[in-house]
Chains A and B, each alone.
Chain A
Amino acid sequence: MTKTDLTMNHAFVLPNSGHKFDAKASKMGMWLFLYTELLLFGGLFIVYMAYRYLNQNAFLLASFELNVWMGTINTIVLLTSSLTIAMSITALQKGDTRLSIILAFSTILAALVFLVIKYFEWGAKFEHGLFPGMDHYNSLPYGERLYFYLYFFMTGLHALHVIVGGIFIGVVIRLIRKGRINKNRISLLENSGLYWHLVDVIWIYLFPLFYLIH
């Protein structure tokens, strides 16, 4: 290779030289974060599995306290919100900003629906005194207390992720409106979508773990 060949070679142009935007690095950063999230919930999953193995009957009894239908509706709500944010990305890639914003908004709306249903679910548990520290909870056998402790901790941490994801998408909508996120600079919308899908994936595991395994 001659000297001129080297200078002409594209590989010698840094990916972000001349501008502050690097879509690939942005996506890789988001994925690295998502991998740590998987391990965070993976650790909780192992805790659940170990205690379920040690307290099989208690976990079985306690799991009948949960309302399968509320869980099923919430699953459908989250899956649908995953669809709308994925469609929002497609819409912006195709250049339809208005549709993209509408779809991103419906994702936030679905997040709110999810949280309202969660509120009623938790509310019913509070009425029955099942939150850790309440009278009924304290009178339960050891295994059932573990189940409800894990239930509140894991669904609570997940609900926190739903709230953060909703805020993230809200910020993204603002930036789409300002034109800072557009057809050629779509990274932030894609990243908020990736985060939202991860929230969905976590729920996909939490739902059978707490509601379905009888």
Chain B
Amino acid sequence: MKNKENITSENHEQEHVSSYSELFGTWAALIILTGMTVFISISGANLRTLTIATALLIASVKALVVGFYFMHLKFETRLYRIMIIIVMALFTFFLIMVILDYLTR
């Protein structure tokens, strides 16, 4: 019985508790980034390639902010981040294969 309590309390200690202000700050950053990407899209409609690049860049920054702070990736064991990298590498591999396919037709 004592063992059991020890384990649960150990698990609990490792758990990161985000403060409300930390979460609110994350949300504010995401809203500002959304405003930025909408503004760039509306104002710079002629810069076609630039808007694609900036829109995807800002989206990726937003995804990272959500992942690291809302989804607690920053406070988890390294394994979760390594696996994200593996998934992204797999995705990049698929993408490169498709690009090569279209370039060599």
> Which residues does A use to contact B, with CB under 8 Å?
10, 13, 15, 18-19, 21, 23-24, 31, 35, 38-39, 42-43, 46, 49-50, 53-54, 60, 68, 72, 75-76, 79-80, 82-83, 86-87, 89-90, 93-94, 184, 186, 193-194, 197-198, 200-201, 204-205, 207-209, 211-214
Q: Which 8 A-B pairs rank lowest in CB-CB distance, beginning with the nearest? A: A208-B55, A212-B41, A83-B27, A42-B91, A214-B45, A93-B17, A204-B62, A197-B71
Chain A residues within an 8 Å CB radius of B48: 60, 214
Counting contact residues on chain B (CB < 8 A from A), the size range is 35 or more
B30: nearest chain-A partner, CB-CB: A79
- Alpha-carbon separation in the docked complex, A204 to B59 (Å): 6
Question: Which secondary structure characterizes the binding site on chain B?
Answer: helix
> Which residues does B use to contact A, with CB under 8 Å?
3-4, 6-8, 11-12, 15, 17-20, 23-24, 26-27, 30-31, 34, 37-38, 40-42, 45, 48, 51-52, 55-56, 58-59, 62-63, 66-67, 70-71, 80, 83-84, 87, 90-91, 94-95, 98, 102
Asked whether, in the complex, the Cβ of A204 is within 8 Å of the Cβ of B8, the reply is no
Asked whether, in the complex, the Cβ of A79 is within 8 Å of the Cβ of B31, the reply is yes
Asked whether, in the complex, the Cβ of A18 is within 8 Å of the Cβ of B38, the reply is no
Question: A116 → chain B, closest Cβ, in Å?
Answer: 20
**Contacts A39-B87, A201-B66, A212-B51 given; does A13 touch B7 at CB 8 Å:** yes
User: What are 25 inter-chain pairs, A to B, with CB distance below 8 A?
Assistant: A10-B6, A18-B4, A31-B80, A38-B87, A39-B87, A39-B90, A42-B94, A46-B95, A46-B98, A53-B102, A79-B31, A79-B34, A82-B27, A82-B66, A86-B23, A90-B20, A184-B8, A184-B12, A197-B67, A197-B70, A204-B63, A208-B37, A208-B59, A212-B41, A213-B52
